A and B are shown apart, each in its own frame.
Chain A
Amino acid sequence: MPIAFEASVQHGNGVWRGMGLFLVPAGIYLAAMTFFPMFHLVRMSFSRVTPEVLYKAWPFAGLDEFQTAINLPVQPGAVEHADLRRGRGGGRPRRRFDRSPDLVAEHAAGERHLRRRHFVWAMPPLVNASVWRFLLDQRGLVDSIPAVFHIPPVLWLADGRLPLVAVALVNAWAVVVLGVVTTFYAFRSFDFIFIMTSGGPSTVSTTLP
């Protein structure tokens, strides 16, 4: 092998190995801002942390806090509610949008509709949640239409399990875009419950987060 070519091959190997350094800045940042806090979270779960001792040494509590969490009355319902929300909208969008966005976009009307759905996705969840709370609230637009026909109102945000269903449907409404952006929308879904029901009435729409 000619010396120059051999040197370039060695240099090339060094370059590819050097690309491992590209991971270092992001790795350091995530270590400081994500893994370090997560380590604290695990430590907190085995300690009795109160506002008074937040910046002091935390007294060790063993599994006491886990026992307390398991005994919380809201816990079983919250797990069930989290499943319901995933099934209705938090996890996967409708299949037809998942596989055929281009078919929808082929027609001008479909293109306009797609653009509206994209825009809804781009809007902050708090804005979407606020609008739907306004529409679904007692004496809101949704209830005012049946009232014209003397049909009793449906208490979407106050009656039985309906608040949870309403939150799940609104969440699905916001994420049915192309099916590609659902994954990270999961970390915005807390806002919907916070604005629309605040976990209530009582703990009907309380989920684990």
Chain B
Amino acid sequence: MYGVPLYWLVSTSFCSNAGCLPAHLDRQPAARWRQLVPDRSGTTALPLALSVPAAHGLARLRGSIVSINLGLVIVLQMMPQTSTVIPLYQVLGSWNILGSIPGVVLADAALLLPFCIHILRPFFLAIPIEIEEAATVDGASAWRILFRIALPPAFNGTVTAGIIIFLIAWGEFLYATSFLVDPQQDPLSVLIAAQIGQYGNNWPALMSIAVATGLPILVIFLVSYRRLREGLALGSIR
């Protein structure tokens, strides 16, 4: 069930409509990689930067503020992307960033931020509060406690969250296809969809772009699998 689809994905990517030829790869993906890496890195860095203090605050604060904010985080995670795409289109348009990469980055970051907070909070909860209490007695400020005391032990969790966010952001499709108007800016996910037409599908081109899309995922996955699996096993995103 898992090997066969992956085999057909790779084998068909080396074919053309005229027949199977070795080393047939669409040239578009290479150019899109160069564009996608900074784009998706921004989409990863922005929610990560915002979620680290928020997750730490939600792990350490007590009372109704935590319940309300956690409830909001869960509700926002459950919001379907399709319900936000129309108002975001209007909002990004009114800010004159529709059709630009920063616009898509901002929209994607908003989509991923609640999820990122949800992943990171358990990592901060796992740090004994006594360490931070000792730092407060020594006169450390809240920001100093976050960056000098809490963040180093939660570094693994932060990296895990970053990897998961990057993996999701890499294949994001709906915002990219809705908010980018120049076909030259289309990410690989939109290129894949473009190969499916009303009068026929260009399977070899589609598969070659799909392989090109999957290759960075494979590399990141192989490099970070142990960390990713441990992060998932911690129950961080249950």
B87 touches A25 (CB 8 A): no
Q: Are A127 and B237 in contact (CB under 8 A)?
A: no
Total interface residues on B, using CB and 8 Å? 85
CA distance A195 to B171 in the complex (A): 13
Q: Could you tell me if A37 and B203 are in contact, using CB atoms closer than 8 angstroms?
A: no
Check B113 against A131 for contact (C-beta < 8 Å).
no
- Given that A55-B94, A116-B2, A181-B232 are known contacts, is A131 also in contact with B8, CB under 8 Å in the complex? yes
Determine which residue in B81, B94, B109, B111 has the highest number of CB atoms from chain A within 10 A of its CB, and name it. Answer: B81
- CB pair A124–B173 under 8 Å, yes or no, is yes
Interface membership of A62, Cβ < 8 A: no
The chain B residue sitting closest to A25, CB to CB, is B50
B193 at the interface (CB under 8 A from A): yes
Residue of A nearest to B116 (CB): A26
Q: With A18-B142, A34-B110, A123-B217 as known contacts, state yes or no: A131 contacts B171, CB within 8 Å.
A: no
**By the criterion CB–CB under 8 Å, are A29 and B113 in contact?**
yes
Main secondary structure of the interface of A (DSSP, over half): helix
Give how many A-B residue pairs fall within 8 Å (CB-CB): 216
* Chain B residues closer than 8 Å to A54, beta-carbon distance: 90, 93
- Considering the complex, which residues of chain B in the window 95-145 have a beta carbon less than 8 Å from any beta carbon of chain A? 106-107, 109-111, 113-115, 117, 133, 136-137, 139-142, 145
Among B86, B220, B237, the residue within 8 A (CB) of A44 is B86
B159: Cβ under 8 A from any A Cβ: no
A97 located at the interface, meaning its Cβ lies under 8 Å from any Cβ of chain B in the complex: no
- The B-contacting residues of A in range 122-142, CB under 8 angstroms, are 122-128, 130-135, 137, 141
CB contacts (< 8 Å) of B196 on chain A: these are: 130, 133, 195
B binding-site residues for A, Cβ under 8 Å: 1-6, 8-9, 12, 50-51, 53-54, 56-58, 60-61, 65, 69, 72, 76-84, 86-88, 90-91, 93-94, 106-107, 109-111, 113-115, 117, 133, 136-137, 139-142, 145-146, 167-168, 170-174, 189, 192-193, 196, 201, 203, 206-207, 210, 213-214, 217-218, 220-221, 225, 228-229, 232-233, 235, 237-238
Additional A-B contact list (20), CB under 8 Å, known A23-B53, A125-B171: A8-B136, A8-B139, A20-B65, A25-B54, A27-B54, A33-B91, A37-B87, A41-B84, A102-B233, A113-B2, A116-B6, A120-B6, A127-B210, A130-B207, A180-B235, A183-B78, A186-B78, A190-B80, A190-B174, A191-B189
A-B contact pairs, 24 of them (CB 8 A): A19-B60, A23-B53, A26-B54, A30-B113, A33-B106, A34-B84, A36-B91, A37-B90, A116-B6, A123-B214, A124-B172, A124-B217, A126-B173, A130-B196, A130-B206, A131-B6, A132-B5, A180-B238, A181-B232, A184-B168, A184-B237, A187-B111, A190-B82, A194-B193
